[in-house]
Amino acid sequence: MESLLNMNETIGGPGTIVEIDEMKLGKRKFNKGRRIEGQWVFGAVQRNSRPLKCMMITVPDRSEETLRPLIEQNILPGTTIISDCWRSYAFLSQSADYTHQTVNHSIQFKNPENGAHTNHIEGFWNYVRRSLPKYGTTENHYDGYLAEIIFRKKWKDGDIFLKFLNEVGMIHYV
């Protein structure tokens, strides 16, 4: 399990584009109102990477204090980062380490000035939601669910069971 929980990898680098976003996993109680009890997840997807290079981390909130260290630890300097206009990402515009492009989702889905969009990460969130168990999900199991999703996405091609056995072998025989 520890190996699966560490499936996140450092992504990006000079000449690469990484889309970042956050989402909340959970369901509305009795399908009423907008408040969702659940778990915040921060994620990033590197465009044009095969196998897909991505990361997902459960976070307590979407504040800059929470997200900034995760971005700096998991996304390499020189990366072009595309995000929505969430205020916690504003520091990226002043950063010398990253090129930051934004798209304002309350106006459009693609920035007409520079072509920036977050379609890859939004599609990835859709995949994550579809991959979660329909019933019986609890907040303390989200890390395991997300680790399994990353593992399956990373080893999509080939024998996933063999890859899993390899990971188990590396844990127990190293």
pLDDT tens digits for range 150-172: 877 777 766 777 777 777 777 66
pLDDT at 84: 92
> What count of Cα atoms within 13 Å lies in the side-chain half-sphere of residue 22?
24
Superfamily of domain 2-172 in the CATH hierarchy: Ribonuclease H-like superfamily/Ribonuclease H (3.30.420.10)
Q: How confident is the model at residue 1 (pLDDT cuts 50, 70, 90)?
A: very low
Q: What is the pLDDT of residue 115?
A: 81
Please give the model's pTM, rounded to 2 decimal places.
0.80
- List own/partner pairs for 110-119 with CB under 8 A and 24 or more apart: 116/82, 117/82, 118/19, 118/21, 118/82, 118/83, 118/84
Q: What residue ranges do the domains of the chain occupy?
A: 2-172
The pLDDT value recorded for residue 99 is 94
Q: What percent of the chain has pLDDT over 90?
A: 42
pLDDT at 42: 95
**What are the tens digits of pLDDT across the range 56-96?**
999 999 999 999 999 999 999 999 999 999 999 999 999 99
